[in-house]
Amino acid sequence: MSSSITPSSGLESTQTHHDRHGLYPEAVSVEDFRHNLAAVQARIAAACQRVGRDPASVRLLPVSKTKPESNLRLAYAAGCRMLGENKVQEALGKWEAMQDLSDLQWSVIGHLQTNKARLVARFASEFQALDSLKLAEALDRRLQHEGRALDVFVQVNTSGEASKYGLAPENVPAFMHALPAFTALRVRGLMTLARFSSEAERVRECFVLLRTLRDRLRQRAPATIALDALSMGMSGDFEIAIEEGATVVRVGQAIFGARALPDSHYWPGETAQ
Ligand SMILES: *Cc1c(COP(=O)(O)O)cnc(C)c1O
């Protein structure tokens, strides 16, 4: 695959930060969270500046998975009003424990089994890992039942790795075409996890693929589908993602600190750090 980046653009110097993986210090005070959020926002702004984008066009989604309720409350106190969680049961438990924070919203960003659709339909505002019509159907049915709507992102496997969830890029157009039937799902855009690699160019290819796919889909998307959002980039690679058009970056460790559980717990096939 060829990259859209020409050697003269200067972006090829942007590196991944996967070498910091597992080394971020744990945030244990509101001050820590304020500091980390400001640092990430500054990196977002710098990446935007390199490609002439408005930093306001990038939403930072803090990812709180594995972290205890007390840390999430600190993040809330530092200003976070939406948190990303990979596993629905963990997210549900935190939602139940934090009912007092009535303006705190939840984004489920990890693979979901169809038989757990009803859990997401109960409490989530956003679901970023839609990858089958069976799941879309189950979510829609439960949402209609609850009288709720849900913002959804279609997850695409841009790295071609068998271990990664998401639709193969070539299957996305037909999938998109079927979605307007599910009226409780508000389709916002596409989501991907890039290849976990220290080779920035190979990571960038995944993001370029997602953007190119979005642009092509936009030309023929059903009128009821908004295809603006690109959720791509995490602590180790969000700057590259922003250079390639990310409108949502999902950042955990750089805000909350390193996680005790290995990533293989969340991303099957990923080697434990
Ligand atoms: C954990 C997670 C992230 C955030 O990863 P960090 O390395 O903590 O920034 C992003 N996306 C998904 C789907 C995740 O599960």
Using the atom order of ligand 1, give the atom closest to the CA of residue 109. 13
Instruction: Return the residue whose CA atom lies nearest to atom 7 of ligand 1.
Output: 235
pLDDT at 1 over 60: no
In a domain, 187, yes or no: yes
Best mutation site among 16, 59, 71, 86 for ligand 1, i.e. most ligand atoms within 8 A of its Cβ? Answer: 86
- Residues 221-264 pLDDT 10s: 777 677 899 999 999 999 999 999 999 999 999 999 999 866 66
pTM of the model: 0.92
Find the mean pLDDT for residues 56-75: 98
pLDDT for 269 equals 55
In a domain, 80, yes or no: yes
Percent of the chain at pLDDT > 90 equals 80
In a domain, 111, yes or no: yes
Residues with CB under 6 A from ligand 1: 63, 65, 86, 109-110, 193, 234-236, 250-254, 266
Residue range(s) defining the domain that contains residue 140:
30-258
In a domain, 24, yes or no: no
Asked if residue 104 lies in contact with residue 76, where contact means CB atoms within 8 angstroms, the answer is: yes
pLDDT for 262 equals 67
Give the length of the chain. Answer: 273
3-state helix, strand, coil split of the chain in percent (to 5) is 45, 15, 40
- Residues 157-193 pLDDT 10s: 999 998 889 999 999 999 999 999 999 999 999 999 9
Q: How far is CA 201 from CA 42, 58, 158, 267, in A?
A: 23, 22, 14, 22
Alpha helix (H) residue ranges in the chain: 30-51, 69-77, 88-97, 117-123, 133-146, 172-178, 200-220, 238-243, 253-256
pLDDT for 247 equals 98
* CATH number of the domain encompassing residue 141: 3.20.20.10
pLDDT for 7 equals 43
- Assigned token pair, 230: 């690109």
In a domain, 212, yes or no: yes
Decide: helix, strand or coil at residue 154: strand
Give the pLDDT band of residue 3 (cuts 50, 70, 90): very low
In a domain, 3, yes or no: no
Which residues does 193 contact at the CB level (< 8 Å), separation at least 6? 159, 164, 165, 166, 232, 234, 267
In a domain, 245, yes or no: yes
In a domain, 266, yes or no: no
Q: How many domains does the chain have?
A: 1
Which residues does 125 contact at the CB level (< 8 Å), separation at least 6? 82, 105, 106, 107, 150, 151
The neighbour count for residue 49, using CB atoms within 10 Å, is 12
Nearest alpha-carbon partner for 146 in 126, 174, 117? 117
Percent of the chain at pLDDT > 70 equals 91
Using the atom order of ligand 1, give the atom closest to the CA of residue 65. 1
pLDDT for 153 equals 98
pLDDT for 5 equals 47
Find the mean pLDDT for residues 43-68: 98
Best mutation site among 63, 86, 190 for ligand 1, i.e. most ligand atoms within 8 A of its Cβ? Answer: 63
DSSP state of 106: E
